[in-house]
Structure 1
Amino acid sequence: MTVHEEYLKTIKKFDKSWKVVHENRLPLLKEIMSWLENPDKQLKIIHIAGTNGKGSTGEMLNEVLIAQGYNVGHFSSPAVYTNREQILYNDEQITEADFLKYFQKIYKIIQKHGKKLTDVSYFEWWTLVGLVYFADKKADFVILEVGLGGQQDATNVISNALLTIFTKISYDHQQILGDSLSKITAIKADIIKKGATVISYNGQLSEVKQILQAKATKVGATWYAGKSPVITTLSSAPTGTKVRINGEYELFLGLAGQYQVLNLNTALQAVDALRTLGYQISQRAIIQGLSVANLPGRMEYDAKHNILRDAAHNPDGISALLAAMHAWKLPFKPTVILGILRDKNYLAMIEDLLPQVDRIIAVTPANPSRALSADELAAQILEMDTNVEVAVADDPTAAITLARQIRESSETMIIITGSFYTLRAVKGIEF
């Protein structure tokens, strides 16, 4: 059996269910971590939670720290095109061979303690492998992004953090996290650890900020008291955003979308906090790192084919996408390949999107248990707005074929959005 075949066979066996509603998960994971000699205690961890912006903020910090010369582990989810995107070391995905090596090391240890492979869920396996891998690599920093919520999330197995960062907190996963912003925030706030410096998104709602601050005080963490940088947008395009920082210097941010300026604000506060803690980060590293920041499936622009892939998966994500489109002053309303999960607030997403697009090609995201079917999506769109042209694509190849036909008679931008699983569905299909 080849390494690739063994890798695919292994991850296929993982329990794919989310365990964040099970209160017994963290005690189990903490026990496993003790059997592994607590790799998290060897690491300087930057823990990031929030509803939107975790990936962007994490990527900005990742690139700045790498540009400074640090060795950086980066754990993020969900993966868009390949599962190994979740574990990066200096921007390189963990290899299939290394994943198997660390998985087998952990598996042998949990077997000795009477546990089975399926006693650990999919996301928990990736979290454990990532932490052991980064510790073995002796990473200078580890950027660890929460998967879902915070309190019962597998990443909350860590016992300490250098920084705890909260990106924008809003409504999402209400069926799991609660139906009020205060409940959602309290669950996310539970990742705050004693001794950490806590940084919050600059536009955080006051009730959210108060809950975070109260939790920080309660556990003995330090609330970041530095100044928020003044960021002026100079120009915005699908390729990225040019900004001026504090009126002192200019830089190009490789992540497109005006909302990224707010995430940049958070990232720069984190840089300042690290400097305060004694870590060297130069202005050159900030400029160089941010210029190459990029994320699979987040404002990912293909200039050759004028295609934008953006996994806007909730109302906030769609609003941010629409704001970016407005800033770019597109000559034509775009054609959108859209696939949405039924457990999202898809009515609000569709309502915001419809006035801003010319036509929608409905697809079914690559998640059978959660997907809103292409037929259901198309029917909902037609019920809400009969002026938008709607087509149903039976499969991802058909969606691209339809978009290609439209392109033949128009220079309109093609946008693929609605979910990470939508992007995954059209993965690898040439335009």
Structure 2
Amino acid sequence: MPTSPTSDLILERMMALHPKIIDLTLDRVWRLLAALDHPERKMPPVIHIAGTNGKGSTQALIRAGLEGGGKAVHAYTSPHLARFHERIRLAGELISEEQLSEMLDECYAANGGESITYFEITTVAGLLAFARTPADYTLLEVGLGGRLDATNVVDTPLLSVITPISIDHEQFLGDTLTKIATEKAGVIKRGVPVIVGPQPDEVMEVIEATAARLGAPVLACGQHWHVSEERGRLVFQDETGLLDLPMPALIGAHQVQNAGAALMALRHLGYDEAACVAAMENAVWPARLQHLRQGPLVELAESAELWLDGGHNAAAGAALAEALGRLPKRKLHLICGMLNTKDVSGYLAPLAAVSQSLHAVSIPGEAATLSGEETAKAAASVGLTSATAESAAEAVKAIRAEHPDARILICGSLYLAGHILRENG
């Protein structure tokens, strides 16, 4: 893996500008954007994507469709897995080391040593890069929440998208679905259409009330569009007609609803069936039930299958369990590492029903990691046979020794997934 010393050093400096990792407010972002002459007003038309689960997958599907329609697309996502550059895609390509260092340096200088969080200043660097590079669209994925997220600075996006909302990040967004939905609905803008994935009733009430107040047309799953899997094909219907498409390249039944939101976005923007087929066939999103097929860990697994997933909340655990249940039959063994901010038992409970055992690891280099012992204890509490391991590699060896033809899934955190992708080349 190539190193990126210049940008790494600048990013390290930026970590020291604010004592907290997360501190939700837009004041610091507005100040820096003003100092940079408002790049957020100069970007190609924006599609803003919020939600709890499926934001990244939905963005990947929309991007594949737009690019299939011959368009150049910027995309912003977080967190990164292996390299920071993954967060900023300029007209289809990951930002270069030279461009990234230049944008980060300029933002650091313009900030003048003022307090600003790492996510805020790096988001502004992304917006600056988007404003300076020609493209047809900009896809912005919310980092956390919506209302006070650093991406929520575009007055009039082309379109807003809200993927399924569930309980997550309660310490920042609130301890009820209604409170969390209120934060996520903060991406809805006056008069801008909002595409809404399937939601619990109390979430839909918040979204509809917010949209009504702002005169934003709602295009909701189950009302204005419908999506389902039928005989191995994806069937999508809206007011303009029916599409019979290949299933999405992204694995899992939950990807059907993400595909539906992406297709609604493409149809609303006037794209034809060929772009919709491209969205289904060409979308790539690492660490979402990703089958690892090469690298040192795969060699270590020998005849065992090795998979990777970065989901980390209860809804993600349920979706993952369902998707795993559809794969060709093999005994499943988990290697899991999680952060101490997550509902570990809630995540593991649905996976316990489809798994034989769990090896718990801590996440290397993460201060907020749960210890292997704590994760193993949570696994045991939901009925999973559990043990600890020093590392994912040690866990792979231990599982393979007893179960040479196992399906091994490394899971529990995007931070762990990123570490695995770096280690596995």
Look up the match of 1:361: 359
Look up the match of 1:278: none
Confirm whether residue 196 of structure 1 aligns to residue 186 of structure 2. Answer: no
Counterparts of 1:234 and 1:46, CA distance in 2: 32
Look up the match of 1:234: 231
Counterparts of 2:153 and 2:392, CA distance in 1: 38
Counterparts of 1:421 and 1:10, CA distance in 2: 21
Counterparts of 1:72 and 1:194, CA distance in 2: 24
Amino acid at match of 1:298: R
Look up the match of 2:64: 63
Contact 2:82 2:419 in 1 (8 A): no
Look up the match of 2:82: 81
Counterparts of 1:390 and 1:21, CA distance in 2: 36
Look up the match of 1:243: 234
Q: Secondary structure of the equivalent of 2:4?
A: helix
Contact 1:299 1:309 in 2 (8 A): yes
Counterparts of 1:285 and 1:351, CA distance in 2: 38
Aligned residues: 406
Look up the match of 1:299: 289
With normalisation by structure 1, the TM-score equals: 0.88
Cα deviation per residue 1:149-205 (whole Å; 9 max; x = unaligned)?
11221111222211111100111111111111111111111121223111110x212
Contact 1:161 1:195 in 2 (8 A): no
Confirm whether residue 26 of structure 1 aligns to residue 22 of structure 2. Answer: no
Look up the match of 1:238: none
Amino acid at match of 2:109: K
Q: Secondary structure of the equivalent of 2:108?
A: helix
Look up the match of 1:125: 121
Amino acid at match of 2:253: Q
Change (3 A) 1:46 1:380: same
With normalisation by structure 2, the TM-score equals: 0.89
Contact 1:252 1:287 in 2 (8 A): no
Higher mean C-alpha deviation, range 393-402 or range 188-197: 393-402
Look up the match of 2:342: 344
Counterparts of 1:359 and 1:233, CA distance in 2: 33
Cα deviation per residue 1:317-376 (whole Å; 9 max; x = unaligned)?
010011011222x32221111111221111122222223111211111245332111122
Look up the match of 2:209: 214
Look up the match of 1:35: 35
5+ long unaligned stretches in structure 1: 236-241, 276-280
Contact 1:367 1:421 in 2 (8 A): no
Higher mean C-alpha deviation, range 312-321 or range 284-293: 284-293
Q: Shift of residue 20 of structure 1? A: 4.9
Counterparts of 2:77 and 2:330, CA distance in 1: 34
Look up the match of 1:312: 311
Contact 1:363 1:422 in 2 (8 A): no
Contact 2:252 2:319 in 1 (8 A): yes
What is the CA RMSD across the aligned residues, in angstroms? 2.3
Q: Percent identity?
A: 29
Q: Shift of residue 410 of structure 1? A: 3.0
Counterparts of 2:290 and 2:76, CA distance in 1: 19
Counterparts of 2:60 and 2:367, CA distance in 1: 30
Look up the match of 1:376: 374
Change (3 A) 1:289 1:200: closer
Contact 2:120 2:150 in 1 (8 A): yes
Look up the match of 2:302: none
Q: Shift of residue 415 of structure 1? A: 0.6
Amino acid at match of 1:377: T
Cα deviation per residue 1:372-424 (whole Å; 9 max; x = unaligned)?
11122223333543xx4433111233233334434xx4322111111112212
Q: Secondary structure of the equivalent of 1:426?
A: helix
Counterparts of 2:424 and 2:397, CA distance in 1: 10
Counterparts of 1:296 and 1:265, CA distance in 2: 20
2:412 counterpart (395, 398, 418) = 418
Cα deviation per residue 1:239-273 (whole Å; 9 max; x = unaligned)?
xxx42445643324110001100111111111122
Counterparts of 2:103 and 2:408, CA distance in 1: 40
